[in-house]
């Protein structure tokens, strides 16, 4: 199954809570079911994205790390 990313966000260098706010803004523009990927360098983003996903109901499909860069993929919830 191929996964199409509808939007990609570069949040590297930003410190909390900016990554969450920029993500929340970007997610608003997505249609239900679409995917957003975000790259961040703030380690605090890992628990923040997880908690934000749980609170808002937008699923966190991926949370990974490579070379100090975190990648998150969120799926916009169905209304």
Partner 1 sequence: MASEVVVLGGGVGGTMCANLIAKHSQGRAHVTVVDATGNHVYQPGFLYVAVGKEKPATLQHPEKSLLRPAVSLVVDRASRVDPAAQTVLLESGRTLRYDQLLLATGSRTVMEEVPGAKDVHDFYTMDGAIRLFEALKTFEGGTIVLGVAGIPYKCPPAPVEFVFLLDDYLRARGVREKSQIKLLSPLNRAFTIEATSKLVQPILAERGIELTGFFNVESVDPVAKTVTSLEGETVDYDLLVLVPPHRGQKVIEDSGLGDERGWVPVDKNTLKHTNFEHIWAIGDTTNIPISKSGSVAHYEASVAAAEISAAAKGEPAPAHVYDGKVMCFLETGQGQATTIRFDYDHPPVSPTPSRLWHWAKLLFNKTYWHTVPQGRLP
Catalytic residue, candidates 6, 14, 16, 61: 16
**Gyration radius of the chain's alpha carbons:** 11
Assess whether 16 carries a catalytic annotation. Answer: yes
Of residues 3 and 51, the one with the C-beta less far from partner 1: 51
Tokens at 67, concatenated:
């070379």
Of residues 16 and 59, the one with the C-beta less far from partner 1: 16
Query: Residues with Cβ < 8 Å from 46, sequence gap 6 or more?
Result: 63, 65, 70
C-alpha closest to that of 19 among 61, 72, 77, 75: 72
Question: Of residues 14-33, which lie at the interface with partner 1 (CB under 8 A)?
Answer: 14-18, 20-21, 24-25, 27-28
Provide the binding-site residues for partner 1, judged by CB under 8 A: 13-18, 20-21, 24-25, 27-28, 44, 48, 51-52, 55-56
């Amino acid at each position: 199954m191929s996964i199409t990313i509808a939007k990609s966000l570069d949040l590297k260098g930003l410190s909390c809570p900016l990554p969450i706010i920029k993500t929340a803004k970007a997610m608003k523009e997505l249609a239900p079911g679409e995917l957003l990927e975000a790259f961040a360098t703030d380690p605090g983003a890992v628990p923040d994205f997880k908690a934000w996903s749980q609170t808002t109901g937008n699923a966190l499909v991926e949370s990974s790390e490579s070379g100090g860069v975190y990648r998150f993929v969120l799926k916009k919830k169905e209304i």
